[in-house]
A and B are shown apart, each in its own frame.
Chain A
């Protein structure tokens, strides 16, 4: 288990700091607390408006009580934000109780979800235990089990993404993925030999310069339905120097997180396995280190991808779309998925376009796009539709190969170019591409795990109806 453990209780343990959500207006969640403490709560809350962001830290005979302004929460994400605020307000404590009595079970679960996600830190996370105080633990427990699976998926994604490039090189990434087998996920890691046999010329070229060769990791969750799987395709560049088209020094250290897409796909698989999802899924993760070396691929090289299409390399720093091309083709040809989503920290253009508050979604299937966006909204991972225009595809015409990998020059719509490129390898499969370059890290530079919960929720909402099979 990663992060703080969450346990359900009917009453707070004396001495454990207790976070009490206070709704705006006269309603006080704490008023429903058992025993004779209701009066005490009311007293503590005198003059407390309950607006979002408001905090009152009180010392009481039973221990520390944190009143938290909850405003008028309407959506799960509002309660999640409140849970996160509780953890922030508590400071460096080992154990924290969240008062959720009188709340609907969904709200209680969202409160704990937000707290558990906020309690995570790659090396400095004192909070080990969260007590979720509810009226009827038995009623909340099954909901929490589902939510906890998604939290584990997201935290697994974050742990992987936080690892530096010397620790999480391609071989180490593959080894970490192999540990998912203990949850019932079948893990198959294809090395260079098998990739060569498959003709994965793009993935092999991108990984050629590094000491640890590229891998294609295939994660399978069988589920129960006898239907084609949903496929998650992830970009897993464990470190991206840019290769021969090397990046400037400034900010290069953040390229340790250039595998966040693959990590999110793996996290979603873990979430599905932990909650025993009935829907079958497969994740195809293209793992490589893009670095400089005598064996590195060059601008001007022409690569033959696994699909047979040839690609002219223009910029070795546009490597993500190349490894994804082979991964997408592998997924389509080997697994015939009913729908396919790729996640990638793909372009700087995406950051310029949408900043760090939304990821861009590109698609060949309007329904899948709407579903992904709805799932993202529910878990606070917002998407915004972006276009693939005819001109974007035209711009990729090559004089020497079937298509160019990207264009060169200033002010280019590179995120759309990349999406137009990827679409060529999706074939007729309903496909969506999520460019998560702007959202993979938070304002402190820590991984968000963006995508793991979104994919898990997408499956839960749209691929688990019994009538789908």
Chain B
């Protein structure tokens, strides 16, 4: 992660100089100074490159003056229409153009503090790289960027705007690391261990194993776990930011009910006895992205000292076929007491979530509950990769989520719930089946989960199967793990549940 700094404008002596330029913008500050020093070379070069400052446009000018190895012009779009999203995208696009430099200076004099910070966030998010298993990569092929300095007259305001964004970026990177890790490394026990260091941020971390789960009656969760030699884990993370977590006054009586985030963490999903076909099964390492997102989110909230009481609970398990694995036809008893006929062992995520969500409500009585899960292939068929599917029993929460997702590039699309869909879960032998057939597959999954939401509790379920991993580069994420949900839920909290 390149270091970000905000300082008073001064012409850099080495590295890259980045010029964020709006359409019809007038050269000022470092841009104007450099243009003068180079005898108008910058203006001539940008003209020759037909660079107009449009969104998505960029141009590179090599070594126009001594010391500066390259100048990168990056388009911001029309001056009046530059919002945080546009600044982030420009920052993200900048990263690829300066990654081979050791340091870069961004001439940010024209950007108000929030936009300069957003530019920095976009750049930093795009710089993510998961390369710990590359042992033979040549030095020349690796990115080198270590430090990005923003030249601005409003350094203090920029630093203040940047501080919370930096915490969010760190949360996003934690999630991306977890999601990217291979399944032989990141099994349930290991994933739980990786939550422990977050205590440094002021989070309280508890880890529960199969013994505790058995006592709690987690029959559905344990049924999924029984095929793997690796034990399952549930991690409970608490950030009492409204009640004084991380301060001297910690542990006083909570000021209010916490908000709760629940994540599905199937560290690898073979499908179990209902085994998946071989093609693409390697993608199932990121079937823990819901849990990974909750962990990164809790780190982000704690990292920026959010004034909210929040709990994050993740159910970590590996779904494997074996002699001890759960079978289609098994009936399991959930922590809520309701029984489930397991028709398809590959519909395991909901079996994990139902027990964790029941526990979360019993213990914390949360104000609302949002669960995240790479739950169904059907949601990819329904929506593709631009929206997560959102299901909710509460119009207010649903609207808040939709509004929070848009500006951070993590859009959700509401999907329906309804009694007719719920009927598809009817079982002849138990309270419900764990699948409702192909028609409306994501909806029946949500209906299943809803059966474990206590009456009157605002709840939303985000099916992130289509958005947790990207097969192409995105404006602020390289292809791979996106950490979809960290920024969305952080924004939800910031907009409505702090203070």
Contacts and interface: CB of A to CB of B under 8 A. Distances in A.
Interface stretch (A161-169, A285-293, A387-395): A387-395
Interface string B422-441: 00100000000000001111
Best-buried of A387, A392, A413 by chain B (most CB within 10 Å): A413
Interface residues of B, number: 26
Contact of B381 (A356, A391, A395, A411): A411
Contact of B380 (A357, A413, A438): A413
B440 A354 contact: yes
Nearest to B386: A389
A358 B439 contact: no
Interface stretch (A104-112, A210-218, A267-275, A345-353): A345-353
Given A384-B415, A384-B416, A387-B413, A353 B382 contact: yes
Contacts of B421: 355, 357
11 contacts: A352-B378, A352-B440, A355-B443, A358-B416, A384-B415, A387-B387, A392-B386, A411-B377, A413-B381, A415-B381, A438-B440
A414 interface: yes
B80 interface: no
Nearest to A438: B439
Nearest to A412: B381
A413 B384 contact: yes
A352 B420 contact: no
Interface string A386-416: 1101111001000000000000001111111
Interface string B164-191: 0000000000000000000000000000
A354 B380 contact: no
Interface in B375-403: 377-378, 380-387
A349 B386 contact: no
Given A392-B384, A392-B386, A410-B280, 14 more contacts: A352-B438, A352-B439, A352-B441, A353-B415, A354-B440, A355-B444, A356-B439, A357-B440, A386-B382, A386-B383, A389-B386, A412-B380, A413-B380, A414-B381
Contact of A355 (B377, B387, B413, B424): B424
B383 A416 contact: yes
B385 A391 contact: yes
A413 B439 contact: no
Contacts of B441: 352, 355
A353 B440 contact: yes
Contacts of A416: 383-384
Best-buried of B384, B416, B441, B444 by chain A (most CB within 10 Å): B384
B229 interface: no
A354 B416 contact: yes
B344 interface: no
Given A357-B418, A384-B415, A438-B439, A352 B424 contact: no
A416 B385 CA distance: 11
B439 A415 contact: no
A301 to B, nearest CB: 26
A357 B386 contact: no
Contact of B438 (A351, A384, A390): A351
Interface of B: 279-280, 377-378, 380-387, 413, 415-416, 418, 420-421, 424, 438-444
A354 B384 contact: no
A354 B382 contact: yes
B473 to A, nearest CB: 13
A354 B387 contact: no
A411 B443 CA distance: 16
Interface string A354-375: 1111100000000000000000
Contact of A391 (B279, B280, B382, B384): B384
Interface of A: 349, 351-358, 384, 386-387, 389-392, 395, 410-416, 438
Given A411-B380, A413-B381, A356 B440 contact: yes
Contacts of B385: 391, 413
B378 A353 contact: yes
A415 B382 contact: yes
Contacts of B386: 387, 389-392
A334 to B, nearest CB: 34
A377 B443 CA distance: 20
A416 B466 CA distance: 14
A412 B381 CA distance: 5
A410 B424 CA distance: 24
Contacts of B438: 351-352
B398 to A, nearest CB: 13
Contacts of A352: 378, 381-382, 438-441
Best-buried of B280, B387, B416, B420 by chain A (most CB within 10 Å): B416
Nearest to A411: B380
A353 B421 CA distance: 12
Contacts of B280: 410
A404 to B, nearest CB: 15
A276 to B, nearest CB: 36
A241 B421 CA distance: 30
A384 B387 CA distance: 16
B5 to A, nearest CB: 35
Nearest to B389: A353
Contacts of A395: 384
A192 to B, nearest CB: 36
Nearest to A349: B381
Contact of A387 (B279, B377, B383, B424): B383
Contacts of B440: 351-357, 438
Contacts of B424: 355
Contacts of A391: 384-386
A349 B379 CA distance: 10
